């Protein structure tokens, strides 16, 4: 279980969860500016099954590209990782049901994108020892939480009292309306503070190899 990446470098990591709103502007930005990014896809959001929660909202691009959108992100260099099939609070589920959520999502992403996830992010950050066991059993090498969330407008909501970025911070965004605009604001803000954007997989590989 990892929530920030151990490093002394001024580097932070961007992650985006769920997948309701699929704005093509974000893909262009990531591709054109070669922004390192890791996405955590949740089946029901990507396939626009049921009603979007507040992270998807009443937006323009809900379910617009389905898995094609994530293939484009992958082609732009962003690994697509596991965020369950239906976004349950895993702590309320027995092991077998947790395993169905995790393995089912990994199988589906493998089928749709050609590569199975190596990372898992639990919905709401809620997990227990069964979750860690299920993640391992479904082929994932780490469970990744986050250290700060990014609100609409690109505002960073810190979990630390001094409200500053720290080396190795993992920022959490959602695929929601106006993400392309918020993303631009956020990237500028991070660079202005002297931080670079890191390649999560490369840093994790180095961390896990230790």
Which residues are at the interface with Zn ion (CB under 5 A)? 17-18, 123
**Burial state string for 13-48 with b = 16 or more CB within 10 A and e = fewer than 16:** bbbbbbbbbbbeebbebbeeeebbbbbbbbbbbbbb
Alpha carbon distance 104, 114 (integer Å): 15
Nearer residue to Zn ion within complex by CB, 23 or 44: 44
> To the nearest whole angstrom, how small is the minimum distance from the Cβ of residue 177 to Zn ion?
16
> To the nearest whole angstrom, how small is the minimum distance from the Cβ of residue 99 to Zn ion?
19
Let me know: does 14 contact 40? Beta carbons within 8 Å: no
> To the nearest whole angstrom, how small is the minimum distance from the Cβ of residue 150 to Zn ion?
13
Nearer residue to Zn ion within complex by CB, 11 or 200: 200
Nearer residue to Zn ion within complex by CB, 18 or 169: 18
Q: Are strands 155-158 and 38-41 parallel, antiparallel or unpaired?
A: unpaired
Nearer residue to Zn ion within complex by CB, 18 or 81: 18
> To the nearest whole angstrom, how small is the minimum distance from the Cβ of residue 42 to Zn ion?
6
User: Which residue number has the CB closest to Zn ion?
Assistant: 17
Nearer residue to Zn ion within complex by CB, 128 or 149: 149
How many residues does this entry show for the chain?
Answer: 210
Nearest Cα residue to 149 out of 131, 125, 120, 170: 170
Place of tokens 């390649």: 199
Alpha helix positions (H), 36-90: 43-46, 66-75
> To the nearest whole angstrom, how small is the minimum distance from the Cβ of residue 192 to Zn ion?
28
């Amino acid at each position: 279980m990892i929530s920030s990446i151990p490093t002394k470098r001024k580097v932070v990591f961007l992650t985006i969860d769920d997948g309701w709103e699929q704005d093509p502007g974000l893909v262009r930005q990531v591709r054109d500016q070669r922004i390192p990014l890791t996405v955590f896809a949740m089946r029901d959001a990507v396939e626009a099954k049921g009603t979007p929660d507040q992270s998807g909202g009443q937006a323009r691009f809900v379910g617009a590209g389905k898995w094609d959108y994530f293939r484009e992100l992958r082609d732009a260099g962003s690994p697509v990782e596991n965020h369950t099939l239906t976004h349950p609070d895993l702590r309320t589920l027995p092991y077998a049901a947790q395993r169905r959520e995790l393995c089912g999502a990994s199988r589906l992403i493998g089928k749709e994108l050609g590569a199975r996830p190596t990372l898992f992010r639990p919905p709401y950050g809620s997990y227990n020892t069964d979750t860690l066991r299920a993640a391992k059993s479904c082929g994932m090498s780490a469970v990744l939480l986050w250290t700060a969330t990014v609100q609409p407008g690109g505002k960073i909501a810190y979990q630390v009292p001094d409200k500053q970025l720290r080396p190795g911070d993992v920022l959490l965004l959602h695929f929601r309306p106006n993400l392309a605009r918020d993303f631009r604001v956020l990237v500028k803000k991070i660079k202005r503070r002297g931080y670079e954007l890191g390649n999560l997989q490369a840093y994790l590989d180095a961390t896990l190899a230790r």
